[in-house]
Amino acid sequence: MSLLRVESLNKRFGGLLAVSQASFEVNEGEIVGLIGPNGAGKTTLFNLITGAITVDSGRVTFNGRDLKCLSTYQICRAGIARTFQVPRPFAKMTCSENVLVALIGRNISVPQPQRPGTIREMLELVGLAGKERVLSADLNLIDTKRLEVARALATGPRLILLDEVLGGLSSMEMSQALDLIRAIRDRFGVTVLWIEHVMGAIMSLSERVLVLNQGRLICEGAPAEVTGDKRVIEAYLGEPDAQD
């Protein structure tokens, strides 16, 4: 069943077209990857879905509900949470306090998938056990990203948008992050749409992959189909027949 539907989405910044006629669906229970070269419009697309920036034209619906005219907090309370490419914790708050803010904002009228309900359980889930009282400003990169995921999950989403959660991580840390993404879907029933530049990771975990280039969706399909598509190869590597 379609949970998120994006229809003919357009966004300009000045004279530049950041997203052009983007249309796709994300079905409930899927893990869907979103890839594309730097500057392709991936984070802008997340911003449009979550209401961080306004849509010029087109439509975004979530669980059958049109998100037009909803504020960012209303979209979050409807069941969409996100992380940011550059983590944005409340620096002067502890890990527990960061998660508490998200729990307070949870819409308890919306049925929640089974998932840890306490702050301690939420932090344990993402690998921050024992760091409840640590200030978020004192965390290293991987723990800051873990806190970002915990805070998003604490809002009780049906859909989570992950923006480059693997960036800057070691191989072991990446493996732990992938296990967490699997658990988000498999154990707790949250649908995942995620942006990533680590191709091996996103192709191994995603059931479908969307490819954005210069604001346009140029390809979508199973990972094996996408990696062999000529348009995707050209977007990442340039013309395949070009000479040095």
Asked, for residue 9, whether it belongs to a domain, the answer is yes
Domain that holds residue 29: 2-91+156-237
Residue 212's pLDDT band, with cuts at 50, 70 and 90, is: very high
Q: Residue 103, exposed/middle/buried by CB under 10 A (0-12, 13-18, 19+)?
A: middle
Is 8 in contact with 204 (CB distance < 8 Å)?
A: no
Query: Residue 242 has what pLDDT?
Result: 39
Report the CATH number at residue 167. 3.40.50.300
* Residue 44 resides in a domain: yes
Query: Which one-letter amino acid corresponds to residue 199?
Result: M
The stretch 228-238 carries a mean pLDDT of 86
Cα 35 to chain centroid distance, Å, stands at 11
Specify the residue for token string 């949250």: 190
149 in any annotated domain: no
Could you tell me if 207 and 222 are in contact, meaning their C-beta atoms sit under 8 angstroms apart? yes
Instruction: Tell whether the model's pLDDT for residue 113 goes beyond 80.
Output: no
In a domain, 109, yes or no: no
The per-residue pLDDT for range 63-109, each reduced to its tens digit, is 999 999 899 999 999 999 999 988 889 999 999 999 998 888 675 55
Tally of structural domains, the chain: 1
Q: Does 41 or 114 have the greater pLDDT score?
A: 41
